Chains A and B, each alone.
Chain A
Amino acid sequence: MCVLYDVLSIVRDKKFMTLDPVSQDGLPPKQVTIQVGIIDLNQKFNKCHKRVYTVGKISAFPLALGLSEEQFEKCPDRDNPQTLQLISKKKSLAGAAQILLKGAERLTKSVTENQENKLQRDFNSELLRLRQHWKLRKVGDKILGDLSYRSAGSLFPHHGTFEVIKNTDIDLDKKIPEDYCPLDVQIPSDLEGSAYIKVSIQKQAPDIGDLGTVNLFKRPLPKSKPGSPHWQTKLEAAQNVLLCKEIFAQLSREAVQIKSQIPHIVVKNQIISQPFPSLQLSISLCHSSNDKKSQKFATEKQSPEDHLYVLEHNLHLLIREFHKQTLSSVMMPHPASAPFGHKRMRLSGPQAFDKNEISSLQSSEGLLEKIIKQAKHIFLRSRTAAATISLASRIEDPQIQAHWSNINDVYESSVKVLITSQGYEQICKSIQLQLNIGVEQIRVVHRDGRVITLSHQEQELQDFLLSQMSQHQVHAVQQLAKVMGWQVLSFSNHVGLGPIESIGNASAITVASPSGDYAISVRNGPESGSKIMVQFPRNQCKDLPKSDVLQDSKWNHLRGPFKEVQWNKMEGRNFVYKMELLMSALSPCLL
């Protein structure tokens, strides 16, 4: 068959051979023969040409079979074309089979080689992948790596080296497991497991005996990317443990050194400080190793609610900033022979800085102080929010609204508190307070320009808001009077008459009707509530003593005695609504 193919390809060229149609007489139809014509370059001998063809046909055929002349003679049935066909097919098939067998042999050899070399090659490719993520170096015959933050600027004295080992416990006969990795890393024993820094604020002061036992909850390991190999997760976890240790070491060092009014307590893996009285901030390093013993204890679910994730995140950010400072180009010496250090510190000698200037250069706040300030702010903010919410849910009239600003600082937030009456928001909007919550104080800016500073005591804020709410009612009456056409006769934010309020001061207002017949007097206090009196004209009061002083009857049109209104029996959803109804009732229709 191959021969046939070769002949056909040569014929296609039309250089050495051409095809000629064969006369079908004398030949059985089954025969598959081709008339092979050998082109003679000399075209003159056409007739001899044909003869040459027939001769060529007979002699070419056995040559095509690969048989020599002798073999061809020996063939018993050589004249029988079917036998020849059979032999030719056999021969060609044998040739093809030979080629296939040779190829198969070569393939099996390479596959077995592959199997043996598979382990060796994979280790190197895994090592290459490892090098893309971590710094490695060869020491003797060991491959060591560095998982510390030292090249990023950390000065923590932990060596942070891990060793890369070849995973040789593999049985070639058994099936290789799916997650088999020829490379394994050995991390230092004190960095095993996972760790995090727990920051929490508790209200009650604990017993001294309770210190040192921290409720650590087994945080689920952060999900590694699905394609990352197991050594990557292992190394990342170890690096995280190292960073947490560094953070805690820095915090405990500062806690011991820095003098503060209330000393910080450092016990085992916990630092306790008191930012505000009756408030306790505890920062603890929770390191859980992977062995089975500790896992049994950690299965009880501890409540993670009091853990402040924001502060933990900020701790990580602060230590990284500290690292970056070591590496900043400000620390590099110019001229080059000078020691490392901040540029301005080097200038302090020649320029004769005094103590104040030098202390302003050195960063005065350590990690612990910063985190305590942040915790104080968070606490103050949450307390303010709780105060406004509790007031809002407790008191329906007037309503208190708090609009918190989106953009805050770690040490400062702001909120706008509005006190309004439902339905009359456009009219009565005189009480608008801007609260700036700082680290230890709350600064209140009133709409009328007053600035008041409140301390961290929650009672102060609450009292202040209550007093503002009572003032709002009286302001609302003033605005309402303008709208209704009533005249304000007197108005006072802080009246000096009547019973003393324990919270703030009472405010009062007197308004007169447009016709002048009636007057309404309102006194509102945060504790005493509201007292409303209406002044009637004299001729409407029946129980007035008759006297000789008044000669003329026109004096009877003046306003006379006051009568108290039973406010709780008034119709109306809230104070201002009731007031509006009262005013409209007292100013009769002109029609």
Chain B
Amino acid sequence: MEAPPVTMMPVTGGTINMMEYLLQGSVLDHSLESLIHRLRGLCDNMEPETFLDHEMVFLLKGQQASPFVLRARRSMDRAGAPWHLRYLGQPEVGDKNRHALVRNCVDIATSENLTDFLMEMGFRMDHEFVAKGHLFRKGIMKIMVYKIFRILVPGSTDSTEALSLSYLVELSVVAPAGQDMVSDDMRNFAEQLKPLVHLEKIDPKRLM
């Protein structure tokens, strides 16, 4: 859980409610290069970062109709990086003017025995995938351009197959609750990527 610097937030007690603001879009494989170039120009000036992650989604089926979802993610190309456990809540039903998808978000860094722990707790793995792509940042905004690979043999990350001929583009910000200016900044940034990729808020419920 990332604590913001002391000077910016008054800590009232307990943990601070963090929200994730999200915009998503996609590009076809052949337009990837131009998108990467554009992002390198728009984003902060640093060496381009690539990542290769393996994510597993765990479900806990309780008495309620909707299961509890937790996402466990590990980095495959960086040794020594901790595992990352994430909980994403339901998207907030705000006014239509809000430009980004807002949902409650809890981020936890864990050690490597996370899967065993979750299994002991009663979670069952629902699905897993490998994500490979590029990572950019602009201030507090994070832009990920990655391709999702399906794992053919469960448990082995060597046999993968691309899910589609396109790359998923995600623009996300993790900020304390109540800061709506963040979504305006995100929209302004998305405007600049307009002809190459259209980033918009996609409600996951509507896709089901």
Task: Report which A residues bind B (CB closer than 8 A).
Answer: 137, 150-153, 155, 253, 257, 327-329, 332-341, 343, 346-347, 349-351
Q: How far is A411 from B192 in the complex, measured between Cα atoms in Å?
A: 47
By the criterion CB–CB under 8 Å, are B109 and A350 in contact? yes
Q: How far is A340 from B142 in the complex, measured between Cα atoms in Å?
A: 9
The distance from the CB of B129 to the nearest CB of chain A, in whole angstroms, is 12
By the criterion CB–CB under 8 Å, are A338 and B139 in contact? no
Which B residues touch A329, using CB under 8 A?
46-47, 49
In the complex, residue of chain A having the shortest beta-carbon distance to the beta carbon of B45 = A151
Q: How far is A531 from B34 in the complex, measured between Cα atoms in Å?
A: 91
16 A–B contacts from the bound complex (CB under 8 Å) = A137-B192, A153-B44, A328-B46, A329-B49, A334-B77, A335-B81, A335-B83, A336-B144, A337-B53, A337-B55, A337-B73, A337-B84, A338-B73, A346-B81, A350-B109, A350-B111
Which B residues touch A347, using CB under 8 A?
80, 82, 109
Which B residues touch A152, using CB under 8 A?
44-45
By the criterion CB–CB under 8 Å, are B81 and A253 in contact? no
Which A residues touch B159, using CB under 8 A?
none
**Cβ of B137 under 8 Å from chain A:** yes
A336 in contact with B146 given A347-B109, A350-B110 (CB within 8 Å): yes
Q: How far is A347 from B78 in the complex, measured between Cα atoms in Å?
A: 13
Q: How far is A153 from B44 in the complex, measured between Cα atoms in Å?
A: 7
By the criterion CB–CB under 8 Å, are A334 and B109 in contact? no
A346 in contact with B47 given A337-B53, A338-B109 (CB within 8 Å): no
The distance from the CB of B95 to the nearest CB of chain A, in whole angstroms, is 24
Which A residues touch B83, using CB under 8 A?
335, 350
A335 in contact with B75 given A253-B7, A329-B49 (CB within 8 Å): yes
The distance from the CB of A149 to the nearest CB of chain B, in whole angstroms, is 11
Instruction: Among B7, B78, B138, point to the contact of A334 (Cβ < 8 A).
Output: B78
**Cβ of B135 under 8 Å from chain A:** yes
Which B residues touch A333, using CB under 8 A?
84, 135, 142
**Cβ of B148 under 8 Å from chain A:** no
The distance from the CB of B10 to the nearest CB of chain A, in whole angstroms, is 13
Which B residues touch A257, using CB under 8 A?
6-7
Q: How far is A340 from B74 in the complex, measured between Cα atoms in Å?
A: 15
Q: A336-B135, A340-B142, A346-B109 are in contact. List 19 more A-B contacts (CB 8 A).
A: A151-B44, A329-B46, A333-B142, A334-B78, A334-B81, A335-B51, A335-B53, A335-B73, A335-B75, A335-B81, A336-B51, A336-B53, A336-B73, A336-B146, A339-B174, A340-B2, A340-B137, A347-B82, A347-B109
**Cβ of B93 under 8 Å from chain A:** no
Count A-B contacts at CB 8 Å: 87
**Cβ of B107 under 8 Å from chain A:** yes
The distance from the CB of B69 to the nearest CB of chain A, in whole angstroms, is 14
Which A residues touch B111, using CB under 8 A?
350-351
Which A residues touch B137, using CB under 8 A?
332, 340
Q: How far is A350 from B107 in the complex, measured between Cα atoms in Å?
A: 13
Q: How far is A329 from B51 in the complex, measured between Cα atoms in Å?
A: 12
The distance from the CB of B138 to the nearest CB of chain A, in whole angstroms, is 7
The distance from the CB of A313 to the nearest CB of chain B, in whole angstroms, is 23
By the criterion CB–CB under 8 Å, are B86 and A343 in contact? no
Instruction: Among B2, B46, B74, B80, point to the contact of A335 (Cβ < 8 A).
Output: B74
Which B residues touch A150, using CB under 8 A?
44, 139
Q: How far is A137 from B188 in the complex, measured between Cα atoms in Å?
A: 11
Q: How far is A340 from B2 in the complex, measured between Cα atoms in Å?
A: 8
Q: How far is A332 from B81 in the complex, measured between Cα atoms in Å?
A: 11
Which A residues touch B186, using CB under 8 A?
none
Which B residues touch A137, using CB under 8 A?
192
Which B residues touch A153, using CB under 8 A?
44
- Residue from A337, A347, A349 whose CB has the most chain B CB atoms within 10 Å: A337
